[in-house]
Structure 1
Amino acid sequence: MNKMSMQRLILGIAVPSLLAVSCSAYAEVERFRYQSEISYRLDAVDVFRMRNAIPDVDVRKTLKPLIGITFYSQNAFISALKKELDDEIVNQYQLMLLEKSQQQGQDLAIDVLSDDIIHIAYKAQPKDTALPTTELINTAKLNGTVKLNKVSDGFTTKNLQVTVNAQNLCVSVTSFKQGKLTDVCPDKEHSFTLLSQGDYQLNGLGQEFHSPGKLNSNWLGFKRQGGNKMEGYEGGATGNTQFPILYATNPKQQNYALYLDTIYAANWDFMETPWKVSVSQGKPSFLLMAGEGLPELRQQYMKLVGNPLVPPRKMFGMWLSEYGFDNWQEMDDKLKTLKQQAFPIDGVVMDLQWFGNVESYSSTSQMGTLTWDVKNFPEPEKKIQSLKDQGIGMMLIEESYVSEGLDEHQALDDKGYLIKDPKTGKAIDTDPNDLGHWWGKGGMIDWTNVAGGDYWHDWKRVPLIEMGVIGHWTDLGEPEMYNAEGVFLGNKPHSDVHNIFNYKWLESIYQGYQRNKTEVRPFMMSRSGAPGIQRFGATMWSADIGTNLQSLSSQFSMQPNMVLSGIDYYSSDVGGFHRGALKARSSEREAALNETYTQWFAYSSLFEVPVRPHTENLCNCKETAPDRVGDLASNKASIELRYQLIPYLYSLAHRANNSAEPVFPSMDYYYGNDPQAVNLPGQKMMGKDLLGAGIAKMGQKVMDLYLPAGKWYDYRTGEMTVSKGEWRKQLPVYHNSVIRLPLFARDGAIIPVNSQQKMPLTSDVPLTLAAKVYGTQGTFILYEDDGASNAYLKGELRQTSLTTREIEEGLLLTVEAKGDYQNAPAARPLSIAWYGIEGKVKAIELNGSVISDWTQQDGVVSVSTTDLPVNNKTELKLVID
């Protein structure tokens, strides 16, 4: 036996070492390294190529039973060949058969990161160094192992048993609590397989629209084609965005997640078992995570990629947008009629007309100026301040492209901050044919060059931020148009950067805010991205979606996957960007558009941040504002509900920031043990306490809605339903011809609300502390801050706990506040609507004194008080017969 063969038999090298998991704590990380022997396998393509070399027999037919089977010794392979071919043929062509089928021995490295998480890579890795990770994740926050035992064929942790097959390097992972999770096996050079027995629900993996008109967020039975790009879909174009985090769950089985740690395009084939995962470049490297359910698994993932920042409070309101406003007058006209119809509005979004529009294929197109077109938008600083005085913020679009005839292109090229032609070292045209694109003709900023990103931010964005711009709309960042021959900083090829291009762009914006110590918090709305963009203050929207309800239903389906991928704030162009995608006869188009918009606006008002009507309107012949398209009364009711819920939603945003709790989780996130709650993307939670649903079907007037076991209250009326895990059939979604999507509160819910009684409502912190209370025992923490700055990260915020419980005399609500922020109210009234009261209330006491300003009607008790000192504990007692 030669030296190489001896090396390949060295299996199960385990190397313990120390790895820092925090500034003050260390956890022992065990590292296991394995090598397999040479093996033999015939693939279909190998057999096909041998058909002429072995003319004596039809090898494609004869060797078909052996295709894809791996043999771990030469003798076993030759023996199998002789069962299919004559001995004489095998002996004659043995050397060729061995050469074509021989598979080099593989390497396997495993690092044990915690009792529930192992890092697996089918690659050679020195025994004394940890497996590397991409910049997208950080393993430092993982807990490390509490207990690890080495055994002859693997190891055990406190929660897992991991077995390694020495021949094929398959890794079997079993949970001590609930049994086998999966078998992971190497496949070809860039791929591996997952064999998981049972009916798994597969979620996560970012967005890729499929199955028009069907509500299905489960990837099982599909091929998920990765790599950031735009794809045509139902008359529009939606994003295919790579977030390589897979969740495999089942109410009856132990659940697991798998994070594929790659920046290259990844494909996931769930068409048959075993499932196959492949990367376009590099050896597969991934983290396998075990957990009780989606909450635990997502928490582990968020530790790797980071929690979202709290968006500015204004982003929870409505933002008006179109492609695009040609001048201030056009925008002002839209705002004027919204005000006349008493619609609330928190911001306007400016498309590329703000910097002078673009000219197709022109080297002097204004793409990349990021400077106001003062002819059509004069005195922008004064205008932004005027809008701010009216409570209206501004978000501006930007792209990474710069027309080559602009001074900006020259300055960036001179400094080496554009993507380069490797032959000349100068900026490369984004069009390989040197003709240009719809936006003009020029180059693309290299966001991997930190100095270049800093230069651009300080030159272009800082003046806009100082004017009062509070949001950055990053468009075309897949990137959609690029020259594959271009090289980035350090001569990196395009393939090394493509899927993190938008990530680096967003990171550059965030770092610009940090470097300049900008007081306002960063907010970005992006068309593309990668794991971790939420920690920069970035959100995502689904791109240029078509105007039809089939696309809206797919938006429903992608939202749970985006939430599990770490994107809490996932929105859409309300009403659809491409109006030509509307599926209706000419005579029915107006009615179809109105209904489509009305349903879409109602859904977005419940589940999207921001609520942002948007459409292509270059002809100035389309409407996007909710007072001009759709049903007026329905749109007003939908947005009124959104503004009423902002105190609750904003509190959830703080929970997402400090505890990684999702703002809009799927049903199975909190009810994963209920088989009927699985894969219902038309229904969604808002935090733990509210359950709602959208509709996306022309002419739909009623819907079926599933309520998990327990008591549920109609959010609006307080009507109680006791469910054993049942469907509410034929629930009306219109009341008096006004759309009213179902919304239920769970028993014990306390929902802080905006108690304003008259439209237009505002997103500001309400002067009154108001809440809707459902049932008798619950708690909720209301988070409030200045809504705009980063001061909340320094602890400048108020947390007000509201707690209800049963007492001997009846019920008690306790309100306690701690913390403070600039301009926070020192005293405020209390307004409570308490639903589900059984029995007659005899009296209500406020801090021990009887008060009279309350009513009881049909099981609902309404209480109002005068101003109460915020820093004092408040007790509201309901004395019940």
Structure 2
Amino acid sequence: MRTIQYLFLLFFISSFYAQNNSRFLTGLKQDGNTIKVDVNDGTYFIKYYSTQILETSFIPKGEKINKNSHAVVLEPKKVELVLHSSENKTVVISDGICLDIINKPFQIVYTDKQNNLITSEKRGYFKSKHSPLESVKGNFPYEKTEKIEFNLTADEILYGAGARALGMNRRGKRLPLYNRAQYGYQNYAELMNFTIPVVISSKKYMLHFDNPPIGYLDLDSKKDNSLTYETISGRKTYQVIVGDSWEDLIENYTDLTGKQPIPPRWTLGNFSSRFGYHSQQETEATIAKYKEDNIPVDAIILDLYWFGKTVQGTMGNLEVDKDSFPDMKGMVSHLKEKGVKTVLITEPFILSTSSKWDEADKKQVLAKDTIGNSAKYDFYFGNTGIVDIYKKEGREWFWNIYKEILGYGVKGLWGDLGEPEVLPSWVNFGEKKKADEIHNIYGHDWAKLIFEGYQKDFPTERPFILMRAGYSGSQRFGMIPWSGDVSRSWGGLQSQPEISLQMGMQGLGYMHSDLGGFAGANLDDNLYVRWLQYGVFQPIFRPHAQEDVASEPVFRSDFAKKHAKKAIELRYKMLPYNYNLAFENNQKGTPLMRPIFFEENDQKLMTTYSTYLWGKDFLVTPILKDSIRNTKVVFPKNANWFNFYFDEDKVEGGQTKTVKVKQKAIPTYVRGGVIIPLTKVVQTTDNYNGNYLELHYWFDNSVKESERTIYNDDGLTANAFENGAYELLEFEADIEKKYLEIDLEAEFGKNWKPTQKEVVLILHNINWKPKRVNVAGKRIKTDVVNNTLKIPVKWNTEKELKIKISLK
């Protein structure tokens, strides 16, 4: 029966999809997880990493196999494969991805175990004339490029290709794979700092092209149902990844390319940042203002003035300008005493006018020109060279500078301009690597250098690595990406949810924006407030901008400061919930921000980003236009939703509803029938106490049972979970005939000491007066106020605690 089904599928595919008529099979052999397929012009190696992850590499005749991957870290698991061969095809059956290998004309077809088509090669690999896009014409001086072409079905929606502002569906575009900054972009930008060779289909599969050199992704720009990867050189290797759900798909991809380490808890707090703080006095005065205004803050970021008084001519000094910062170590220490961590900017460029040039040139740690000298070229900041991180000497020299910086007590490192911002094609790196071969992974490998340095010299510390450019797999180095120099405008704000949602699906779950916008001197308090209100529900809360207009709330109008303070305080109240999102991301790759189609797999919602999910249980609709009174909110089905800020009737899922917009908050809803953990506001996460929790529960009689788990550790120590230094708190809610029962349980790692917790259970939507409330079997007195019931309890986490509330 299986063979008959495959024959029908092959007839269907060969009838509708073009193939490479000049390629034909000459031999096929299985070796464990790998199928070696010889064709007249080369060899295919098809390797299973798991039943849901498969890699295909094509080696043209005359070339050698290159097994080096910048992205893949997964070790293959044994997969049971069954092969059936007939006159013109071989069928490879697994418990996940299956193959049809057609002999002549040669074609590879990928299906699932139910014989549903996933994707198929169209012409597969070929070379042809290079047709450069105008936007990168000067960066792609190549007559021919290598291509791998696939078939698409007419109804597929396509995501991926890195950080772009295009709308959620990227089908119809031919997009450069060439990391490049886009200064002052607004709601449309085809090329930005993170270009990633990943395509995600609405059919829940991914294609990852495992090759660093520059190129293109053509997502059916010719409207002929084709997807084409195009490159100047390198590996002809791609992985096909599938999943049973969106979460499963992203977990498989991040199994393949690596999981993001849990960042230190303080990174979920508020940052003070601008371009930039000119002196120690200005830095300390800024934090003093936060303290005076009682606005929580956890970090301050120093831009390039820490090593030079001017923007141009000083980059590459990478040592403290003692005129402006006479006591850097003392300043960092004093700020730390206030709970504020210091982050310093660095760049990979060493200007020929900088104090480090002679040393870097003498030690041969810079990339080379065509005759072997340290390469020099001009860009905005001056005449420069770039650190060769592909040479051992370059890596060691750069890391020694970082060790000196960290020796000041600095707790975070900012890597800027790592696209690299300017990198001519003629520059050479390391072991005969051309600039265009490493251009896209320079930021990726720079993050790797820092991450591995931490592992060697600071093994117990979690790094904070803020970077503007990277590539597929960069998340495993703890990279915290941001969306570049966005315009300080409503157009700039409008593109931000899309960028973060797309990047989260591509493994980089901490993509965030310069809150308030970066580029331009636009003083718009309403824009600023709406951007910060959105920022509560995006991964990193970091207002940052050019200094013409203050980015810090403490220097804004009373109106802006008041609403910014409320947003920041809510961010701190959400620490338990948000920290658990970081744990989920670490364990499964699940993004912190999630498209609404993760909840409701409806084709009509596949391009929606105006409403999204923050974790599993918050539904957020940012205000992206000025002075609007009403907005539409998409409420996913399979749940009812309650207004997080205001006491309103529940909203049934499965509808789009127009809601009134209020100044104090953006439309935010929570899932009914689940427990959401919050805490008290603290002025710094140093004062965060995981032993105090507010457990909020919105009663929904239709949700008979629910369970949520939150993760906690010390928030600082690397690999706390792996080393058993953690607790998992489990909250269950069950509605029986006469009672609502809330159960609190805990599990502990082997190196965690359990503690008693002070818990306030806050039940919303309680429109009756319970006759009985029992805590651990004892009746207590309570009262319902404004449809809300508060039950304070002491919880010895070594024991289960049961709370029962009568439904009448």
Same fold by TM (over 0.5)?
Answer: yes
Structure 2 counterpart SS, 1:741? coil
Quick one: percent identity of the two aligned structures? 22
| C-alpha distance in structure 2 between counterparts of 1:694 and 1:704, whole Å | 10
After TM superposition, the structure 1 stretch with the greater mean CA deviation from structure 2, 288-297 or 349-358, is: 288-297
**Correspondence 1:23-34 to 2 at 5 A:** 28-34=32-38
Q: In structure 2, give the amino acid aligned to 1:477.
A: G
Distance 1:456 1:174, change over 3 A: closer
Report the Cα offset of residue 727 of structure 1.
Answer: 0.8
Distance 1:107 1:30, change over 3 A: closer
| C-alpha distance in structure 2 between counterparts of 1:718 and 1:168, whole Å | 65
| C-alpha distance in structure 2 between counterparts of 1:691 and 1:443, whole Å | 47
2:672 to 747, 758, 764: 747
| C-alpha distance in structure 2 between counterparts of 1:468 and 1:629, whole Å | 30
Distance 1:193 1:293, change over 3 A: farther
What is aligned with 2:132? none
Distance 1:638 1:683, change over 3 A: same
Q: In structure 1, give the amino acid aligned to 2:554.
A: D
Report the Cα offset of residue 823 of structure 1.
Answer: 9.9
Q: In structure 1, give the amino acid aligned to 2:669.
A: F
What is aligned with 1:790? 718
Distance 1:199 1:475, change over 3 A: same
Structure 2 counterpart SS, 1:485? coil
What is aligned with 1:299? 251
| C-alpha distance in structure 1 between counterparts of 2:383 and 2:311, whole Å | 9
**Correspondence 1:468-483 to 2 at 5 A:** 468-483=409-424
| C-alpha distance in structure 2 between counterparts of 1:497 and 1:131, whole Å | 15
Distance 1:182 1:275, change over 3 A: same
In the superposition, the TM-score normalised over structure 2's length comes to 0.87
Matched, 1:224 2:179: no
Q: In structure 2, give the amino acid aligned to 1:690.
A: F
What is aligned with 2:629? 701
**Structure with larger Rg:** 1
**Correspondence 1:561-572 to 2 at 5 A:** 561-572=502-513
What is aligned with 1:78? none
Report the Cα offset of residue 570 of structure 1.
Answer: 0.9
Structure 1 residues 96-151: Cα deviation after superposition (integer angstroms, max 9, x where no partner): xxxxxxxxx46544334433333223334899x997351321241x5442342233
Report the Cα offset of residue 638 of structure 1.
Answer: 1.8
Q: Is the 8 A contact 1:844 1:851 kept in 2?
A: yes
Matched, 1:151 2:85: yes
Q: Is the 8 A contact 1:12 1:154 kept in 2?
A: no
Report the Cα offset of residue 183 of structure 1.
Answer: 2.6
**Correspondence 1:465-544 to 2 at 5 A:** 465-544=406-485
Q: Is the 8 A contact 1:545 1:577 kept in 2?
A: yes
Distance 1:711 1:207, change over 3 A: same
| C-alpha distance in structure 2 between counterparts of 1:875 and 1:655, whole Å | 26
Structure 1 residues 6-31: Cα deviation after superposition (integer angstroms, max 9, x where no partner): xx9972633222xxxxxxxxxx3031
Q: In structure 1, give the amino acid aligned to 2:79.
A: T
What is aligned with 1:443? 385
1:14 to 28, 31, 52: 28
After TM superposition, the structure 1 stretch with the greater mean CA deviation from structure 2, 558-567 or 446-455, is: 446-455
What is aligned with 1:421? 369
Structure 2 counterpart SS, 1:571? coil
Report the Cα offset of residue 752 of structure 1.
Answer: 0.9
Q: Is the 8 A contact 1:209 1:233 kept in 2?
A: no
Q: Is the 8 A contact 1:579 1:616 kept in 2?
A: yes
Matched, 1:452 2:433: no
Q: Is the 8 A contact 1:268 1:278 kept in 2?
A: yes
Structure 1 residues 343-383: Cα deviation after superposition (integer angstroms, max 9, x where no partner): 111111100001124463xxxx4322222222211211121
What is aligned with 2:488? 547
| C-alpha distance in structure 2 between counterparts of 1:283 and 1:392, whole Å | 45
Report the Cα offset of residue 327 of structure 1.
Answer: 1.1
Q: Is the 8 A contact 1:12 1:34 kept in 2?
A: yes
After TM superposition, the structure 1 stretch with the greater mean CA deviation from structure 2, 317-326 or 174-183, is: 174-183
**Correspondence 1:188-207 to 2 at 5 A:** 188-189=126-127, 190-207=146-163
| C-alpha distance in structure 1 between counterparts of 2:563 and 2:751, whole Å | 37
Report the Cα offset of residue 541 of structure 1.
Answer: 0.5
Q: In structure 1, give the amino acid aligned to 2:433.
A: K
Matched, 1:711 2:626: no
Structure 2: runs of 5+ lacking an equivalent:
1-21, 128-145
| C-alpha distance in structure 2 between counterparts of 1:147 and 1:720, whole Å | 54
**Correspondence 1:716-795 to 2 at 5 A:** 716-717=645-646, 719-729=648-658, 731-734=659-662, 738-756=663-681, 764-775=688-699, 777-792=705-720, 793-795=722-724
| C-alpha distance in structure 2 between counterparts of 1:823 and 1:159, whole Å | 39
Matched, 1:332 2:277: no
2:55 to 119, 131, 135: 119
After TM superposition, the structure 1 stretch with the greater mean CA deviation from structure 2, 704-713 or 744-753, is: 744-753
Matched, 1:267 2:194: no
2:104 to 167, 175, 198: 167
Report the Cα offset of residue 859 of structure 1.
Answer: 3.9
Report the Cα offset of residue 470 of structure 1.
Answer: 1.2
Report the Cα offset of residue 242 of structure 1.
Answer: 1.9
What is aligned with 2:318? 370
Number of residue pairs matched by the alignment: 752
Distance 1:178 1:686, change over 3 A: farther
Distance 1:10 1:540, change over 3 A: closer
Structure 1 counterpart SS, 2:250? helix
Report the Cα offset of residue 276 of structure 1.
Answer: 2.5
Report the Cα offset of residue 535 of structure 1.
Answer: 1.2
Structure 1 counterpart SS, 2:289? helix
Report the Cα offset of residue 786 of structure 1.
Answer: 1.6
Report the Cα offset of residue 178 of structure 1.
Answer: 6.7
Q: Is the 8 A contact 1:599 1:696 kept in 2?
A: yes
What is aligned with 1:209? 165
| C-alpha distance in structure 2 between counterparts of 1:605 and 1:800, whole Å | 24
1:629 to 548, 556, 580: 556
Structure 1 residues 139-170: Cα deviation after superposition (integer angstroms, max 9, x where no partner): 41x54423422333132223444223333433
Structure 1 residues 254-280: Cα deviation after superposition (integer angstroms, max 9, x where no partner): 432111111012312222122332122
Q: Is the 8 A contact 1:310 1:654 kept in 2?
A: yes
| C-alpha distance in structure 1 between counterparts of 2:459 and 2:47, whole Å | 40
Q: Is the 8 A contact 1:539 1:569 kept in 2?
A: yes
Matched, 1:388 2:308: no
| C-alpha distance in structure 2 between counterparts of 1:481 and 1:447, whole Å | 16
After TM superposition, the structure 1 stretch with the greater mean CA deviation from structure 2, 834-843 or 652-661, is: 834-843
Q: Is the 8 A contact 1:174 1:181 kept in 2?
A: yes
| C-alpha distance in structure 2 between counterparts of 1:160 and 1:576, whole Å | 44
| C-alpha distance in structure 2 between counterparts of 1:12 and 1:652, whole Å | 51
After TM superposition, the structure 1 stretch with the greater mean CA deviation from structure 2, 764-773 or 529-538, is: 764-773
What is aligned with 2:800? 873
Report the Cα offset of residue 314 of structure 1.
Answer: 0.9
